[in-house]
């Protein structure tokens, strides 16, 4: 753990002065990150901050065992930084992103490539060429007489976001899947610089629209930390209720979609509707099926008066009964189990090396859940059971979702029964200048990490968003390796990752 000594130890949801963060030489910082990860920490964020003199690199590591985070930084003045992706694979996409966002070279990176095909974060030089479109340029290729290549996307067959998938196959067998994204890039992180302003909350709510509550909660906890305030207990409880409703809706949708992909239509069609019923419970809370307007800096935009609480409880029980009836059919159907089991395996050691998060990690036996390990808001008061599975296959990813739904139901009932009294929202003052704060929220896909650094005026000098999908797309590629190309839709659905959350 010697590498960990080089870091400032703190916790998520607490602001620290930027100058208190240890500044190391670039190579030492990179080595310290590798050493710390060897010692059990993991990379929550690793990104650049524009500075007049160059780029400031910031490492945010999560220490799950101690409910803490570790921070360190370095100032880069040259055009290159040393890559450590070969020694610490969970860094690989962060390094590619850093290179792309600041026009740098990741020296020694085993697979350098664009992440989003985006222009540099700070104004590119006038006349600089626009980046090439995603999916163009050189992609990894396997050569051989009987090897063939399959390209899919960006426009896919379903109602789904765009991405490009390039398979290197030998017959049915997939040797390698390369995933190229960036089609959904719309400049979220660039536009957040200089905030908070009247658009900030909308950028947060639409970072990944199916995770409106998750991202908005992460952003608001960050703003509150920097302003030295916190959501009142009742407001925090309402946010947690909305976050669990978001999880129930999406897990139900995913289980239905998995059933659909193996041709098991009863669960597919029931869950399609039941997912909507969970969304309607969110709308009961705030008028929007996706929770728009509910999470606001300082607390919740809406209260839950007694009559509404009873409607919500009744609706929750009714909908969950329907969900149970639909989903339990899966485990009893041998044809479904035959397709789920042993398909798309991600071994535990690979899940750890890639830094997977959320249900995808837990399905590979990685016992990791921010609601227990780094609890914020109402999760400090209500304990959360963590569901894991060992096999790392599609079945495990489905099963973990169902177990999480049961845990969410228990959490919701406990929280609704003991809803704290008082106000739901408090005013939020100015943000502390020259500070940094990190927030960690367990969204339905996994770890949502937001990091903000303020300037001398208390405006965002940098706002970093790490959607769980940023960690997990590599897991999907791993799941396909050695598998069959016809299993791709099923594997893809079992991860159900966000394109827009990755592309920002």
Chain residues in the site for other proteins (CB under 8 A) = 116-119, 130, 133-134, 154-155, 157-162, 182-187, 190-191, 198-199, 201-203, 206-210, 212, 253, 266, 269-270, 272-273, 275-276, 279-280, 283-290, 292-293, 302, 322, 325-326, 328-329, 332, 498-500, 503
Residue nearer to other proteins on the CB measure, 294 or 440: 294
Q: How many CB atoms lie within 10 A of CB 62?
A: 26
Least distance in angstroms from the C-beta of 395 to other proteins: 19
Closer Cβ to other proteins, 292 or 371, answer by number: 292
Contact 243, 441 (CB under 8 A): yes
User: Which is closer to other proteins, CB of 149 or CB of 328?
Assistant: 328
Comparing CB distances to other proteins, the nearer of 118 and 343 is 118
With CA atoms as reference, report the closest residue to 475 among 179, 106, 155: 179
The nearest distance, CB 498 to other proteins, in angstroms, is 7
Closest CB 173 distance from other proteins, rounded Å: 25
What are the distances in angstroms from CA 401 to CA 125, 331, 354, 372, 444?
47, 13, 21, 17, 9
- Which CB sits closer to other proteins, 116 or 339? 116
Kindly state the smallest distance separating residue 212's Cβ from other proteins, in Å: 7
Report the C-alpha gap between 406 and 400 in whole angstroms: 10
CB of 7 to other proteins, least distance (A): 34
Within 29-111, strands assigned E span 42-51, 54-63, 68-76, 80-82, 105-107
Closer of 22 and 266 to other proteins (Cβ): 266
Which candidate, 135, 171, 177, 138, places its Cα nearest to that of 155?
135
Our CB check for other proteins shows the closer of 15 and 428 to be 428
Structure token digits, residue 68: 């803490």
3-state secondary structure 232-264: CHHHHHHHHHHHHHHHHHHHHHHHHHHHHHCCC
CB 452 within 8 A of CB 226: yes
Q: What is the largest CA-CA distance in the chain?
A: 71
Cβ neighbours of residue 422 under 8 Å, at least 6 residues apart?
Answer: 232, 233, 234
Q: In whole angstroms, how close is the CB of 225 to other proteins at the nearest point?
A: 23
**Closest approach of other proteins to the CB of residue 131, in Å:** 9
Report the nearest approach of other proteins to the CB of residue 215 (Å): 10
**Closer to other proteins by Cβ: residue 279 or 345:** 279
* Nearest distance from C-beta of residue 276 to other proteins, angstroms: 5
CA-CA distances (angstroms) from residue 132 to 116, 117, 198, 246?
Answer: 10, 6, 32, 36
Nearer to other proteins, 29 or 238 (CB): 238
Under 8 Å between Cβ of 236 and 425: no
CA distances from 223 to 17, 69, 372, 379, 441 (A): 15, 18, 22, 18, 14
């Amino acid at each position: 753990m010697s590498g960990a000594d080089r870091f400032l130890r703190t916790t998520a949801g607490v602001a620290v002065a930027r100058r208190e963060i240890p500044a190391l030489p670039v190579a030492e910082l990179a080595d310290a990150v590798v050493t710390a990860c060897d010692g059990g920490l993991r990379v929550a964020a690793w990104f650049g901050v524009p500075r007049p003199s160059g780029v400031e690199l910031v490492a945010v590591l999560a220490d799950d065992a101690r409910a803490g985070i570790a921070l360190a930084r370095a100032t880069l003045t040259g055009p290159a930084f040393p890559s450590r992706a070969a020694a610490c694979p969970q860094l690989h996409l962060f390094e590619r992103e850093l290179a792309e966002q600041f026009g740098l070279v990741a020296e020694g990176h085993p697979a350098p490539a664009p992440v989003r095909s985006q222009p540099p974060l700070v104004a590119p030089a006038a006349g600089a060429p626009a980046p090439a479109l995603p999916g163009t340029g050189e992609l990894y290729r396997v050569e051989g007489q009987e090897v063939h290549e399959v390209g899919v996307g960006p426009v896919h067959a379903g109602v789904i976001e765009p991405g490009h998938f390039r398979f290197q196959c030998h017959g049915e067998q997939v040797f390698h899947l390369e995933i190229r994204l960036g089609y959904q890039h719309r400049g979220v992180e660039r536009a957040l610089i200089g905030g908070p302003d009247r658009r900030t909350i909308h950028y947060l709510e639409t970072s990944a629209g199916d995770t409106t509550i998750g991202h908005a909660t992460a952003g608001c906890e960050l703003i509150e930390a920097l302003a030295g305030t916190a959501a009142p207990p009742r407001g925090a409880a309402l946010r947690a209720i909305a976050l669990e409703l978001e999880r129930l809706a999406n897990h139900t949708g995913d289980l239905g979609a998995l059933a659909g992909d193996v041709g098991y239509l009863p669960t597919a069609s029931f869950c399609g509707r039941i997912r909507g019923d969970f969304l309607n419970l969110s709308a009961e809370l705030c008028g929007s099926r996706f929770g728009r307007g509910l999470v606001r800096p300082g607390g919740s935009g809406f209260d839950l008066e007694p009559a509404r609480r009873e409607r919500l409880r009744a609706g929750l029980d009714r909908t969950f009964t329907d969900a149970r009836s639909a989903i339990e059919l899966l485990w009893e159907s041998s044809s479904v189990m035959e397709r789920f089991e042993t398909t798309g395996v991600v071994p535990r050691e690979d899940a750890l090396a890639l830094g997977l998060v959320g249900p995808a990690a837990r399905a590979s036996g990685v016992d990791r859940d921010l609601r227990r390990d780094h609890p914020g808001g109402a999760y400090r008061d209500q304990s959360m059971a963590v569901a894991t599975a060992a096999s790392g296959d599609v079945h495990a990813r489905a099963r973990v979702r169902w177990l999480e739904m049961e845990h969410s139901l228990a959490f919701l009932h406990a929280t609704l029964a003991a809803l704290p009294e008082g106000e739901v929202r408090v005013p939020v003052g100015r943000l502390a200048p020259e500070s940094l704060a990190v927030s960690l929220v367990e969204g339905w896909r996994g770890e949502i990490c937001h990091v903000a650094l303020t300037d001398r005026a208390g405006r965002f000098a940098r706002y970093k968003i790490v959607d769980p999908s940023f960690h997990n797309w590599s897991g999907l590629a791993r799941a396909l390796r050695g598998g069959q190309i016809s299993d791709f839709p099923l594997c893809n659905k079992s991860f159900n990752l966000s394109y827009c959350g990755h592309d920002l």
